[in-house]
Amino acid sequence: QSALTQPASVSGSPGQSITISCTGSSSDVGAYNYVSWYQQHSGKAPKLMIYDVTHRPSGVSNRFSGSKSGNTASLSISGLQAEDEADYYCSSYTTDTTMVFGGGTKLTVL
């Protein structure tokens, strides 16, 4: 069970949009619409930002959106703000009823 592949880092200026990719396989990302995304600020617990590929939990800004094509899921953030600077992790449900996480992406707001 291999970890999902994410870019190690992405960056953007305030107000810009960025996208973080999450690549898996036909046994996880490509198998179901059960990809979720978590935001983790330094020293804090992860926070759910997106679930079931595209759904936002109550209270999460609509600047955050998710999508999926084949074995790759993506998290997009529009109108970047300083508070968005954090680590982001994707996760996916798998065909053996387990969960796998990505390696994480550090977002820097320039």
Q: Which residues in this chain contact other proteins in the complex, by CB under 8 A? A: 1, 3, 31-32, 34, 36, 38, 45-48, 51-52, 57, 89, 91, 93-94, 96-104
Q: Is 2 helix (H, G, I), strand (E, B) or coil?
A: coil
Tokens, residue 36: 């979720």
Structure tokens at 19: 């996208």
Kindly tell me which of 79 and 90 has the beta carbon lying closer to other proteins.
Answer: 90
State the nearest-atom distance from the C-beta of 16 to other proteins, in Å: 26
Nearer to other proteins, 10 or 31 (CB): 31
> Parallel, antiparallel, or unpaired: how do β-strands 35-40 and 47-50 relate?
antiparallel
Contact between residue 84 and residue 91 where contact means Cβ atoms under 8 Å apart: no
14 vs 57, beta carbon nearer other proteins: 57
